[in-house]
């Protein structure tokens, strides 16, 4: 049973007034996925994808879409017994909606040192934070990665499915990916983790709720205020822009559909341009300038006469 098929059954008996509008965004994202394939990480990615959409939908609109998905799964689980799980029920959607496009919080380097010092337990948390800072991936993207499908230690690259939205190519459904080169820090961490792989094949074989709880506890112990896991993604983009990386490159690394989404980080760029204008302070030899000016004026006077 796919999400599309669930919607067709649901709408015949349970459709509410605005469900048709909400389904126009849910179906392109989840439509081809089976109910068993949809995980809480996928739902979390959907909410964040909608927030980062160039269409800039209101939080209330996203919440209505989320609510429709949750109701559909509740009917499928409780009434029709088509599934035993509801991935929408495990998401703290109000927390995610706080991370709107106006949010501009990233991890300072001194905060990173402190946070990592408090991330020794559970044993995966330190590596999870490093991965997020050095890739800009969302939590759901990270937790779905496998060694076989996504990690290439030989080429030092990571292949990440941008979202569950699929593009049609000559009638066939085709997923869309982004490729992220590994920093040396990230490569060394993954090389170490690759020596003891989990039987599931996942890079981080943990649940979204476990990752959320562990991270929130580390942030609390570290005394870092107003900081969420998704802000590690902002940290990645902000640091790139501050280092002078152009916005189009950042767009590709982040997997944004539109440059307009990436432009939210543009205000971090001016400081990186400072060295370019410092040449204006390099005042040339004034005596030579006066001599050149006199020569030019003399030449001009001669030509006019």
Q: What pLDDT score does 163 carry?
A: 57
Q: What pLDDT score does 168 carry?
A: 45
Task: Give the mean model confidence (pLDDT) for residues 176-186.
Answer: 94
Phi, psi of 261 (to 5 degrees): -70, -40
SS3 category, 161: strand
pLDDT digit string, tens, across residues 125-157:
999 999 999 999 988 889 889 999 999 999 999
pLDDT digit string, tens, across residues 41-67:
788 878 887 887 767 788 899 999 999
pLDDT digit string, tens, across residues 242-265:
888 999 999 999 988 778 778 878
Which of 97-101, 176-180, 199-203 has maximum average pLDDT? Answer: 199-203
User: What's the whole-model pTM score?
Assistant: 0.69
Strand partners, 177: 161
Q: Tell me what percent of the residues of the chain surpass a pLDDT of 90.
A: 52
- pLDDT band for position 283 (cuts 50, 70, 90): low
Q: Is the pLDDT of residue 301 over 50?
A: yes
Q: Where are the domains of the chain?
A: 3-97, 109-271
User: Which letter, b or e, does each residue of 46-74 get, where b requires 16 or more Cβ atoms within 10 Å of its Cβ?
Assistant: bbbbbbbbeeeeebebbbbbbbbbbbbbe
More confident position, 90 or 182: 182
Alpha helices (H) in 52-124, listed in sequence order: 59-74, 93-97, 109-117
Q: Which CATH architecture does the domain made up of 109-271 adopt?
A: Orthogonal Bundle (1.10)
Task: Give the mean model confidence (pLDDT) for residues 266-290.
Answer: 65
Q: How many CA atoms lie within 13 A of 211 on its CB side?
A: 25
Q: Is the pLDDT of residue 79 over 70?
A: yes
The Cα–Cα gap between 93 and 95 comes to: 5
The Cα–Cα gap between 237 and 141 comes to: 16
């Amino acid at each position: 049973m796919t999400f599309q098929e669930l919607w067709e059954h649901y709408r015949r008996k349970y459709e509410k007034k605005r469900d048709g509008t909400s389904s126009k965004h849910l179906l392109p994202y989840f439509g081809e996925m089976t109910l068993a394939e949809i995980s809480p990480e996928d739902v979390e990615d959907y909410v964040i994808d909608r927030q980062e959409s160039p269409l800039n939908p209101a939080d209330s609109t996203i919440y209505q879409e989320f609510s429709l998905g949750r109701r559909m799964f509740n009917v499928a689980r409780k009434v029709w017994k088509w599934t035993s799980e509801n991935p929408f029920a495990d998401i703290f959607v109000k927390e995610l909606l706080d991370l709107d496009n106006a949010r501009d919080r990233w991890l300072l380097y001194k905060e990173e040192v402190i946070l990592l010092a408090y991330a020794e337990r559970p044993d995966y948390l330190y590596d999870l934070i490093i991965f997020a800072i050095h890739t800009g991936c969302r939590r759901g993207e990270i937790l779905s990665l496998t060694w076989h499908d996504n990690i290439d230690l030989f080429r030092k690259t990571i292949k990440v499915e941008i979202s569950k939205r699929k593009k049609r190519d000559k009638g066939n459904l085709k997923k869309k990916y982004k490729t992220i080169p590994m920093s040396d820090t990230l490569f060394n961490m993954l090389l170490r983790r690759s020596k003891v792989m989990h039987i599931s094949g996942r890079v981080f074989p943990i649940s979204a709720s476990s990752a959320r709880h562990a991270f929130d506890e580390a942030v609390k112990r570290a005394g870092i205020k107003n900081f969420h896991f998704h802000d590690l993604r902002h940290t990645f983009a902000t640091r790139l822009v501050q280092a002078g990386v152009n916005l189009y490159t950042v767009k590709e690394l982040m997997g944004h559909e539109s440059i307009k989404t990436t432009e939210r980080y543009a205000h971090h760029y001016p400081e990186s341009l400072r060295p370019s204008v410092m040449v204006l302070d390099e005042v040339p030899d004034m005596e030579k300038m006066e001599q050149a000016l006199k020569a030019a004026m003399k030449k001009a006077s001669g030509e006019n006469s």
